Amino acid sequence: MFSKRFLYSKPFIISALAGLFILILAVAGFMRYIFAGLPPVYEMEEYTPSLTTKVYDRNNQLIHEFSIEKRSMVPLEDIPVDLQNAVVAMEDRDFFKHAGFSIRGILRALLHDMITGRAKQGASTLTQQLSRGVFLTQEKKLIRKIREIILAIQIEHKFSKREILQLYLNEIYLGSGAYGVKAAAKKYFDKDLSELTTGEAALLVGLIPAPGRYNPFANPEVARQRRDLVLDVMREQDYISQEELETAKAEILPQKPPVADKKPGQYFIEYIRRILEPKYGMDVLWKAGLNIYTTIDIEQQALAEEVMNKKLQEYDEQVAKGLGIEIDPNDAEADAPNQTDDDDEPVSTEPRTDYPRLQGAFMVRDVKTGAVRVLVGGRGFDESKFNRATQAKRQPGSSFKPYVWMAALQKGYTPATLVKDLPTMFYYDGRNWRTFDENADLYSLDLAKQTFIASRDFNVWVPQNYGGKSEGWITLRKGLEKSKNLVAVNLIDAVSPKAVIQIARKAGLTANLPNVPALALGVSVVQMDEHLAALTTFANGGIHTDNYYIERVEDANGRILEQHIPLESAVFSPQHSYLLINMMKGVTQRGSGAYVAKLGRNIAGKTGTTQSHRDMWFVGMTPYTAAAAWMGYDDDTSHENGARFTGSTTARWWTEIMEQILKDEPNDDFAVPEGISFAYINPISGKLAMPTDRNKFLEAFITGTEPESF
C-alpha cells in the first residue's frame, strides 16, 4: 500500500493543481469561444427580418410588393389560435413551461449524435429554433447547438412567451419563398390569415420540418398524411374537439398554387423601381419594408390598358386583312388542323400568329402638379418590358407644331394673322437651308426643282400638305386646326428653326432638335413623357412642372424618407399660352382631332402622323388632366398598305379611355388671363367681321393686337 505521505506529497499536489488550472483555462477558453460567437441578445429587440416593401396608388390601395422573401410581420393577436396551438402541439408542447431548452430533448439529441457521429437537427424548442433562425448559421455542429441553447436561455430571460411565439411565427420558413405564416397563407391558399380553416392551419404547421417534402403541390399524399398527424396531435392535447378533427381531415388540400393575376401598372412599377433602387440600394428597397405612396390611379390604369389593347388588336386585324393574312380569332397555333370542304378535301386556312403587331403607349398626368396617373408602356409587360412611354424615342409628327405656333405668337403673330399655305421649296447650299423664290407658283417650283435635282451641289426639299392641297393664305388658327404642313414650314422659315428650338427647350424637351426647316413637321425624335409634360405647360398658363411618380417614401416605422416637393417655373406668358391653347381647342372641335368633340368637353389637343404612317399621336388636355397616346411598330416600319392609320385614329381610342377617366372631372374651360380680349373676325380675311358676315368667329387676342379694319 502507498503511504499517505506519498499520496499527498508536494510534487503530486503541484501536479494536481497545475492540471486543475489547465482544465480551468481550457474551460474558460472554450466558454470564451462559445460566447464570442453569440450576438448580444438585446439585438433581438431591434431585430427586423427581411420585410416586404409595399407600393400604394394615389388612393392608398396596395398595388405591388417588392420582396426577395415573401414575408410580413403580424401581431400575435392577428394569428389564428388554431395556428398558434398547432405550432406548440407539434414543435414544442412544453413551450409555456421550459426556460428555453428541454433536458430530455438535449439528452436524446446527444445520444443520437454519439451513435451516428453527426449532429441531429431536431429536438429543439421553439426558442432554440428562433435563436438559430435569427442569429445563428444552419450548420449542424455541436458548437452551434451549445450556442443555440445559451442564446435561447437569454431570449427567454429577456422576452415574454407571447413575444417569442409572435416572432417565431413571423420568422419561420414555410417553403416556396414564404417566410412567416401570413406569407405562407397567401402562397398556399391565396387567403388572409383570418380566413384559414383548422385543416389549413395544420397543413402550414406540418410544413415546418421539411417544406419541400410536405409541399401539397409536389407531394399531395405525403402532405395530407402530415396534416392529419398535426390534427391528431392537436386532438390528443385537447386543442380541438373530435368533431373539429373530423371536419378538418375532410378538407380538400390545395391542388395547385394560386394563379397570380396579371396586375395592371407593371410598367409604372418598373419605372419607380428604376428611380428608387439606385437611391436606396437593392437591400433597402427589397428587404426593409418601405411604404411607397405613388401618384398612379390603379383603376384608371387598368381601364387604359384594357381599352388600348382591345383597340390595337382590332387595328392589327385590319392590317392583316389588308395584307391578305388570316388571323385566328382565338390566336390558334399556326399548325392548327385544317378544315375540310364538302368533298372532304383539305382546305388550309393557315391561321398566322406572326402578323404585324402594333404597339402603343398611353400616359396621363395632372396638368398643374405633374403627378402621373397612368403609364402604359406597351401591350403587355410580360411580352416586352421596354417602356414606350419613357424609353422610346419616336418622331412626334404634327404634334410638334404647337412649339412652332408658340414661336410665331412670340414674334407678334395673332390667331387671325394670315399665313402662307403655299408650296415652298427649300434647298441646301452646303451650309444652310434656304427658301427658293417665295413668290413662285407651283409650276415654277416644279421647274426649278428639276434644276436643283440635277446639281450635285444642292439638296432640295419640297414639303406638301397631307392630301396634297393648299389654300393660299389662311389664318394662323386654321393652319393649326387643319394641321397644315405648308403653314408650319413657312412659319418656321419666318421665325427661324432656332427660335422654335428655344421654345421647345423652355417647354421642357431635352431631345436633340435639328436646326432645319423640317423640324416644324416633327422630324426629330422625342420621348412621350417629355413631350406630354412640355405641351402641358401651355395648358398650365405657361408654367412648367416635371412629371413625378412618387408622393412620399416611408420606412417600416412610418418615418418619411422622402416627399415630393413641387417645383414650378414660369416659362411662357399666360397670354401667349392661352392663345395657343385656345387654337388647340379648335383642333378637337373642327380640325384633325374632331372625334374628341364627342366628349362634349373643353379639350385642347393635337394629332400627329409621321411619314409613311410610322407614328400616330394624339395629345390632349383639359384644364386639369393631360394625356398622350401613341401607336406604331417597334421596328419603325410602315404597314400602310394594310390599313392607313393617322393621328386621328389614335385620337379615337384616346377618347374612349378619357371618357371614363374624365367622367368625374368638372367640365370647366381654360381660364382667361388678364390682358386677353375677344373680337369677332372674318375667318377667311382675318379682319374684323362685318355685321352682315354669317361665319364670323369670336377670336382671342392679347389686348391691343386685335384687327383694326374690316
Per-residue pLDDT tens over the stretch 403-420:
999 999 999 999 999 999
Residue 237 phi/psi, 5° resolution? Answer: -95, 15
Identify the weakest region by mean pLDDT among 28-42, 313-327, 409-423. 28-42
* 643 compared with 552, residue with greater pLDDT: 552
3-state secondary structure of 102: coil
Please say if the pLDDT value at position 455 is more than 80: no
Identify the weakest region by mean pLDDT among 328-337, 362-371, 456-465, 568-577. 328-337
* 597 compared with 326, residue with greater pLDDT: 597
Identify the weakest region by mean pLDDT among 248-262, 518-532, 558-572, 638-652. 638-652
Q: Using H for helix, E for strand and C for coil, what is the string for 383-408? A: CCCCCCCCCCCECCHHHHHHHHHHHH
Q: All 3 cell numbers of residue 471?
A: 389654300
How sure is the predictor about 229, in pLDDT bands with cuts at 50, 70 and 90?
Answer: very high
- Burial of 673 per CB tally in 10 Å (0-12, 13-18, 19+): middle
Closest CA to 392 of 605, 639, 628: 628
How sure is the predictor about 348, in pLDDT bands with cuts at 50, 70 and 90?
Answer: very low
What is the torsional sign of CA 134, 136, 141, 146?
A: negative
The residue written with cell numbers 407651283 in the block is: 442
Query: What pLDDT shows up at residue 283?
Result: 87
Closest CA to 653 of 376, 382, 385: 376
Q: Are 657 and 627 in contact (CB under 8 A)?
A: yes
Please say if the pLDDT value at position 512 is more than 60: yes
> From CA 82, how far away is CA 239, in angstroms rounded?
8
Mean pLDDT of 428-438: 66
Query: What pLDDT shows up at residue 156?
Result: 73
Torsion of CA 272, 274, 279, 283, to 10 degrees: 100
E strands of 27-144, at which residues? 53-56, 62-66, 70-71
Q: Are 689 and 696 in contact (CB under 8 A)?
A: yes
Query: What pLDDT shows up at residue 272?
Result: 97
- In sequence order, what are the beta bridge partners of 394? 526
Q: All 3 cell numbers of residue 123?
A: 429536438
How sure is the predictor about 110, in pLDDT bands with cuts at 50, 70 and 90?
Answer: low
Q: All 3 cell numbers of residue 391?
A: 424609353
Fold equal for 72-249 and 291-332+351-396+525-662: no
pLDDT tens per residue across span 660-696:
999 999 999 999 999 999 999 999 999 999 988 888 9
Please say if the pLDDT value at position 381 is more than 50: yes
Active site residues: 91, 398
Please say if the pLDDT value at position 69 is more than 70: no
Mean pLDDT of 356-360: 89
Q: Are 308 and 376 in contact (CB under 8 A)?
A: yes
Closest CA to 328 of 351, 347, 310: 351
Q: What are the counts of helices (DSSP H) followed by strands (DSSP E) for the chain?
A: 23, 23
Please say if the pLDDT value at position 165 is more than 80: yes
Mean pLDDT of 435-460: 56
Query: What pLDDT shows up at residue 34?
Result: 46
> Per CATH, is 72-249 categorized as 1.10.3810.10?
yes
Please say if the pLDDT value at position 536 is more than 80: yes
How sure is the predictor about 426, in pLDDT bands with cuts at 50, 70 and 90?
Answer: confident
DSSP symbol at 298:
H
Query: What pLDDT shows up at residue 112?
Result: 62
Mean pLDDT of 33-39: 51
Mean pLDDT of 71-81: 86
Please say if the pLDDT value at position 510 is more than 90: yes
Mean pLDDT of 538-561: 97
Query: What pLDDT shows up at residue 445?
Result: 53
Query: What pLDDT shows up at residue 353?
Result: 59
* 111 compared with 703, residue with greater pLDDT: 703
Q: All 3 cell numbers of residue 185?
A: 397563407
Q: Residue type at 209?
A: P
Query: What pLDDT shows up at residue 346?
Result: 35
How sure is the predictor about 343, in pLDDT bands with cuts at 50, 70 and 90?
Answer: very low
Buried b (16+ CB within 10 A) or exposed e, 117-149: eebbeebbbbbbbbbbbbbbeeeeeeebbbbbb
Please say if the pLDDT value at position 223 is more than 80: yes
Identify the weakest region by mean pLDDT among 310-324, 343-357, 642-656. 343-357
Mean pLDDT of 351-367: 85
Identify the weakest region by mean pLDDT among 339-353, 482-496, 549-563. 339-353
Q: All 3 cell numbers of residue 217?
A: 403541390
How sure is the predictor about 337, in pLDDT bands with cuts at 50, 70 and 90?
Answer: very low
Mean pLDDT of 12-27: 62
476 contacts: CB under 8 Å, gap ≥ 6: 405, 408, 413, 414, 415, 416, 417, 418, 419, 487, 583
Residue 85 phi/psi, 5° resolution? Answer: -65, -40
Mean pLDDT of 695-700: 94
Mean pLDDT of 392-413: 97
Per the prediction, the chain carries an average pLDDT of: 84
User: What is the CA angle 124-70-160, rounded to 5?
Assistant: 40
3-state secondary structure of 615: strand
The residue written with cell numbers 383548422 in the block is: 198
C-beta atoms surrounding 365 within 10 Å: 27
Closest CA to 424 of 452, 462, 471, 453: 462
Query: What pLDDT shows up at residue 393?
Result: 95
**Considering the domain 291-332+351-396+525-662, what is its CATH architecture?**
3-Layer(aba) Sandwich (3.40)
Query: What pLDDT shows up at residue 636?
Result: 79
| Domain extents in the chain | 72-249, 291-332+351-396+525-662, 400-415+476-523, 674-710
Please say if the pLDDT value at position 59 is more than 60: yes
- In sequence order, what are the beta bridge partners of 693? none
Please say if the pLDDT value at position 24 is more than 70: no
> From CA 623, how far away is CA 617, in angstroms rounded?
20
Query: What pLDDT shows up at residue 643?
Result: 61
> From CA 605, how far away is CA 617, in angstroms rounded?
10
Buried b (16+ CB within 10 A) or exposed e, 326-348: ebeeeeeeeeeeeeeeeeeeeee
Query: What pLDDT shows up at residue 324?
Result: 73
Mean pLDDT of 235-263: 90
Q: Are 575 and 673 in contact (CB under 8 A)?
A: yes
* 71 compared with 606, residue with greater pLDDT: 606
How sure is the predictor about 644, in pLDDT bands with cuts at 50, 70 and 90?
Answer: confident
Query: What pLDDT shows up at residue 344?
Result: 36
C-beta atoms surrounding 206 within 10 Å: 26
578 contacts: CB under 8 Å, gap ≥ 6: 541, 670, 671, 672, 673, 676, 700
Residue 271 phi/psi, 5° resolution? Answer: -65, -45
User: What is the CA angle 678-680-685, rounded to 5?
Assistant: 125
> From CA 486, how far away is CA 219, in angstroms rounded?
73
Mean pLDDT of 118-128: 65
Q: Supply the pTM of this predicted model.
A: 0.75
Mean pLDDT of 615-620: 96
* 543 compared with 422, residue with greater pLDDT: 543
3-state secondary structure of 167: helix
Query: What pLDDT shows up at residue 571?
Result: 97
- In sequence order, what are the beta bridge partners of 288? 51
Query: What pLDDT shows up at residue 2?
Result: 47
How sure is the predictor about 453, in pLDDT bands with cuts at 50, 70 and 90?
Answer: low
- Burial of 566 per CB tally in 10 Å (0-12, 13-18, 19+): exposed
Q: Are 697 and 481 in contact (CB under 8 A)?
A: no
Identify the weakest region by mean pLDDT among 53-62, 179-188, 193-202. 179-188
Residue-level length of the chain: 710
In the chain, % of residues over pLDDT 70: 77
